[in-house]
Structure 1
């Protein structure tokens, strides 16, 4: 009896030809799919821009950001206690160099844009939203500095010759019954950007 399990050369050639045709069709389909459907893995860069909103997701806080300037050597938050001020002498969010410096009010009776900042912790997320997208930051440090210490460390906190695009958030703390004795300084590095 003849062994029928061994394919003849013509049958092997036909099978190889069919397999080759299937592979070519599959390759063409994959190329077309790549052209028609974007992979989603290509990063879209968000250009540096003026901040419009600050968000502290872990503290359920969102506040409008407005530009502010130095008055002499003092950086005062905006008059509206619900707004955050972005120092226009600092880097725009998304910049590769310098530091983005923002400040806002803490109001001992409530209603300040940064009232909850004393609850922020290392590792938490802070977002800055511009017209073109969102820059996500992660908190590296939370410091409480006296006014004297803040003045002594002004170059580190406000200087624009370092920072690599980090975010600096400043507000008052330690209400003494008539004013605030200290400042909270939060430093955060950028880890992601999301286009609008």
Structure 2
């Protein structure tokens, strides 16, 4: 599984839904969660599975599996995570357990999945839960 997306800060709207960048090529880091690479708390990043023009940056997440490696590169640093759970939940409201500012570090990736409902979008959300791992980087 491989994907690439520019990372931009986003927030939750009054309706309880995370505002994801519209373009489909970008992913949104929920700015009220830990930044990527943080030593404490949950980092939440969300992106679209598709747009009116076709597959979006997070489309490959539908193939994610336990044990997969995820790398987040931001600010010139790369942080590695290993997928420990792949979960599908109904609805678009963020689960309260994602709002964790303390505790051990982890990464949660979110995208849409399930049946598409005209007028309201995808019914379900796909959650990828990952924990930090040491990754080797090539020498310059």
Instruction: Say yes or no: TM over 0.5.
Output: yes
Q: Which residue of 2 aligns with 1:174?
A: 114
Runs ≥4 in structure 1, deviation > 6 angstroms? none
Q: Residue in 2 aligned with 1:99?
A: 42
Change (3 A) 1:108 1:80: closer
Distance 1:192 1:156 in 2: 25
CA RMSD of aligned residues (A): 2.0
1:135-154 to structure 2, matched below 5 A, reads 135-147=79-91, 151=94, 154=95
Distance, in Å, in 2 between the alignment partners of 1:94 and 1:88 is: 14
TM score, norm. by length of structure 2: 0.85
Of 73, 80, 100, which residue of structure 2 is paired with 1:159?
100
Quote how far apart the aligned CAs of 1:194 are.
Answer: 5.9
Higher relative helix content: 1
Given the two structures, how large is their TM-score scaled by the length of structure 1? 0.62
Is structure 2 residue 26 aligned with structure 1 residue 83?
A: yes
Which residue in 2 is equivalent to 1:191?
Answer: 133
What stretches of structure 1 of length at least 5 have no aligned partner?
1-58
Aligned to 1:9: none
Structure whose CA Rg is larger: 1
Determine the structure 2 residue equivalent to 1:49: none
Q: Could you tell me whether the CA contact under 8 Å between 2:71 and 2:79 is conserved in 1?
A: yes
Q: Which runs of 5+ in 2 are unaligned?
A: none
